[in-house]
């Protein structure tokens, strides 16, 4: 009898170990597949196709320069979105054969964007409006089909994953009631998986080098702030910062030194802003300060303070003794501005104006004159 109970217990322990091992393996294999995030990206991408159709319709009805500019900005967003989604697909656990046709269509559409840009340029110059409509419709229809199919594929993959995880969880829970000794190990495993998910979520929101917000998280925060702005009327502002001739530091002292300079700059920027403001690294040597409830005057004063801070920043390591400068573009939300993308586009234009006007300066007025002048 004792031998029979010992054998039964040993069998139960073995089954428990097998169930827990299977659970851990499957959980770890799927923990990196953030289908919710991918579905969100695809839903946003579907809106690009709708916006493309609406913008083309607007251009067909009116050749207003504003519509031309909107289409130029939209093509830039579409290209970034295609690249982001294709990269996410390649990193996912979805079988390559399942999404290969969609991937090929997206790559084809990306290759057609330059043709659409040329057609837009010709249209803006008063030539061949039919070409713009033909290429635009081809791209719009391709985007609509690709993202619709991809949305369905992701939901199917997500549902399959959920079913698998539910079955594994049920098996572990049922066996855990019998094999009490395995409960502690199972709880530690679940905690580890949870921590890994939290770490991945944090990494998806931050720049790995500086620890600042990344571009994607900045867009999410700004979208929420714009919704609040529409209710409260307190306009947000945006400061775009691009370091002048930063490549020279990398070339002269190496990329590790350049990275150390970027980290030092990130810390300095964080010290200059309010607790409610967001500091983000957009990529390379480009940074952004998003300022909720901040008028143009306040944003320009902060931008000038930041410019002076950068110019006086003591650079680390081998870059000590070098002088760092930056060009800054400032924009504040106003009537008729429908979202963060419009605010970003305005700040970006002023940033390039600052560079064109000599660098190491702030541009924040609509008339073309800088509020502050560069220092020698």
Q: Which residue has the tokens 């040993």?
A: 10
Q: Is 346 in contact with 338 (CB distance < 8 Å)?
A: no
Closest CA to 300 of 372, 355, 202, 226: 372
**Helical spans, DSSP H, in 233-360:** 247-253, 255-272, 296-311, 340-356
How many whole angstroms separate alpha carbon 168 and alpha carbon 162? 10
Contacts of residue 66, defined as CB under 8 A and 6 or more positions apart, other chains included, come to: none
Residue 38 is encoded by which pair of tokens? Answer: 């991918």
User: For this structure, is 285 an active site residue?
Assistant: yes
How many whole angstroms separate alpha carbon 327 and alpha carbon 24? 50
How many whole angstroms separate alpha carbon 213 and alpha carbon 219? 10
DSSP state of 319: G
Considering the candidates 140, 225, 285, 296, report the single residue annotated as catalytic.
Answer: 285
Sheet containing 278-283: which strands, arranged edge to edge? 278-283, 286-291, 237-243, 326-332, 362-363
How many whole angstroms separate alpha carbon 345 and alpha carbon 86? 25
**Helical spans, DSSP H, in the chain:** 2-30, 35-61, 65-91, 96-124, 129-178, 181-205, 215-232, 247-253, 255-272, 296-311, 340-356
Sign, Cα dihedral of 215, 142, 153, 95: negative
How many whole angstroms separate alpha carbon 109 and alpha carbon 259? 35
Residue 183 is encoded by which pair of tokens? Answer: 């409960």
DSSP state of 206: B
- Quote the crossing angle between the two packed helices 129-178 and 35-61, to the nearest 10°: 160
Q: Is 345 in contact with 373 (CB distance < 8 Å)?
A: no
Q: Which residues are known to be catalytic?
A: 285
């Amino acid at each position: 009898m004792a031998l029979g109970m010992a054998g039964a217990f040993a069998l139960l322990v073995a089954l428990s170990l097998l169930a827990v091992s299977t659970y851990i393996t499957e959980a770890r294999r799927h923990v990196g597949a953030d289908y919710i995030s991918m579905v969100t990206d695809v839903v946003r991408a579907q809106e690009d196709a709708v916006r493309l159709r609406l913008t083309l319709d607007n251009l067909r009805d009116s050749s207003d320069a504003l519509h031309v500019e909107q289409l130029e900005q939209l093509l830039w967003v579409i290209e970034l979105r295609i690249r982001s989604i294709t990269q996410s697909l390649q990193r996912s656990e979805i079988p390559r054969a399942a999404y290969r046709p969609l991937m090929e269509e997206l790559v084809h559409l990306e290759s057609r964007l330059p043709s659409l840009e040329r057609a837009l340029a010709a249209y803006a110059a008063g030539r061949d409006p039919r070409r713009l409509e033909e290429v635009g419709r081809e791209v719009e229809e391709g985007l609509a089909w690709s993202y619709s199919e991809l949305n369905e594929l992701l939901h199917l993959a997500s549902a399959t994953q959920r079913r698998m995880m539910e079955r594994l969880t049920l098996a572990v829970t049922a066996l855990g009631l019998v094999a009490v000794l395995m409960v502690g190990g199972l709880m530690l495993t679940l905690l580890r998986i949870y921590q890994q998910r939290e770490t991945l979520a944090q990494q998806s929101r931050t720049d790995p080098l500086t620890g600042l917000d990344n571009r994607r998280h900045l867009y999410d925060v700004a979208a929420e702030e714009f919704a609040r702005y529409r209710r409260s009327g307190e306009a947000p502002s945006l400061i775009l910062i691009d370091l002048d001739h930063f490549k020279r530091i990398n070339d002269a002292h190496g990329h590790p030194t350049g990275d150390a300079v970027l980290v030092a700059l990130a810390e300095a920027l964080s010290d200059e802003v309010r607790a409610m403001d967001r500091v983000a690294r957009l990529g390379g040597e480009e940074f952004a300060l998003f300022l909720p409830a901040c008028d143009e005057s306040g944003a320009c004063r902060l931008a000038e303070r930041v410019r002076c801070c950068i110019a006086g920043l003591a650079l680390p390591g081998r870059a000590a003794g070098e002088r760092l400068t930056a060009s800054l573009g400032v924009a504040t939300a106003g009537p008729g501005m429908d979202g963060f993308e419009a605010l970003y586009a305005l700040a970006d234009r002023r940033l390039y104006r600052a560079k064109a006007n000599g660098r190491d300066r702030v541009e924040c007025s609509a008339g073309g004159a800088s509020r502050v002048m560069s220092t020698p």
